[in-house]
Amino acid sequence: MSSEIEGEQLIELQRQATLGRLLAGVAHEISAPLGSILANLDVTVRLFDRLEKAAGEPAPGRTLELLAAGRELARVDRQAAERIKGLVRSLKIAARVPDPDPQSANVNDIVDSAFQLARATFRNRIKMETDFGELPEIDCYPHLLSQAILNLVTNAGQAIEGTGTITGGTRLEGDSVHIWVADTGQGIRDEDKPKVLHRGFTTKALGLGTGLGLLIVNRIVTEAHGGSISFESEWGRGTTFHVRIPLRQKRKGA
């Protein structure tokens, strides 16, 4: 029992640490579109003043020109607001309160939220690509699965020195969902592959990794969800992690 509590505490602490690291990037991503909206509001106020004057002029050309400018401002503001809305939604999914029992959830939303948050963190340094299949909702612990995917995507970004690409996707495979996260990073040496999913192993530079990230992913996938995790990697070319989660989970006491 004590080891189970310790494991849950470890996962929660690691989840909070991951979210803390991502928040700085999210704050930066939100500030840019927010600044655009605020600047456009100032322009919109002046635009209304000009429209008021133009309304009294006999020629409609100036009025139509100002209306077109107003529509363009509204279009830009909508794009900025949608960007903020998407980031907030991703944070809500990642920071979801732990569920005592499995819940019905959309895996594509969970994976997409992880990529949205990572995109805000790594910005122009890393290209993020997704390829989602059509999936039914599955039984899972959404807060745990979100943590597992966030760990994989964050690890992938940290494995890339300079610029690179992270690709993620989902597919339905029989009675399981297949999730993968691939990167163009440094890869894993053959002699290190047996240690990857164990506590204390990390390929990151000193201060960047504790060796807990992939251990926690392994626990979430195999112990909490009865799934499986595997990977393939070539040194110098990158790594792909494969996670498979059953569509249905056993309820406690069932």
The Cα-based distances of 167 to 28, 113, 170, 240 in angstroms read 23, 14, 11, 9
Locate the DSSP E strands across the chain. 103-105, 126-132, 138-140, 164-173, 176-183, 228-234, 238-246
Per-residue pLDDT tens over the stretch 40-65? 777 776 777 777 677 666 666 767 77
229: containing domain: 9-20+100-246
Per-residue pLDDT tens over the stretch 67-121? 777 777 777 777 777 767 666 666 666 556 566 778 899 999 999 988 988 887 7
- What pLDDT is stored for residue 138 in this prediction? 94
Percent of the chain with pLDDT over 90: 30
Rg (CA), the chain: 23
Domain count, the chain: 2
Q: How confident is the model at residue 4 (pLDDT cuts 50, 70, 90)?
A: very low
- What pLDDT is stored for residue 246 in this prediction? 95
Give the pair of three-digit tokens for residue 146: 């979100």
Give the pair of three-digit tokens for residue 109: 């939303």
**Domain identity same for 69 and 123:** no
| Residues 187 and 251: beta-carbon distance below 8 Å | no
Looking at the whole model, is its pTM more than 0.85?
A: no
Q: Is residue 235 part of a domain?
A: yes
49-53, 119-123, 159-163, 189-193: the lowest-pLDDT one: 49-53
Which of the 8 DSSP states describes residue 191?
A: G
- What pLDDT is stored for residue 229 in this prediction? 94
Residue with tokens 């990794």: 209
Q: Is residue 30 part of a domain?
A: yes
Per-residue pLDDT tens over the stretch 140-151? 988 889 888 988
| CATH number for the domain that contains residue 128 | 3.30.565.10
Give the pair of three-digit tokens for residue 188: 């894993």
| Distance from C-alpha of 144 to C-alpha of 142, rounded to nearest angstrom | 5
Beta bridge partners of residue 233, listed in sequence order: 239
Q: How confident is the model at residue 176 (pLDDT cuts 50, 70, 90)?
A: very high
**Domain identity same for 16 and 34:** no
Percent of the chain with pLDDT over 70: 67
- 44 versus 22: the higher-pLDDT residue is 44
**Domain identity same for 69 and 168:** no
CA torsion through residues 136, 146, 201, 158, sign? positive
Q: How confident is the model at residue 17 (pLDDT cuts 50, 70, 90)?
A: low
Q: What angle do CA 97, 85, 221 make, to 5 degrees?
A: 40
Q: How confident is the model at residue 3 (pLDDT cuts 50, 70, 90)?
A: very low
Q: How confident is the model at residue 198 (pLDDT cuts 50, 70, 90)?
A: confident
The average pLDDT across 155-163 equals 89
**Domain identity same for 236 and 155:** yes
**Domain identity same for 137 and 65:** no
Beta bridge partners of residue 130, listed in sequence order: 168
Averaged pLDDT score across all residues of the chain:
78
- What pLDDT is stored for residue 73 in this prediction? 75
Q: Is residue 226 part of a domain?
A: yes
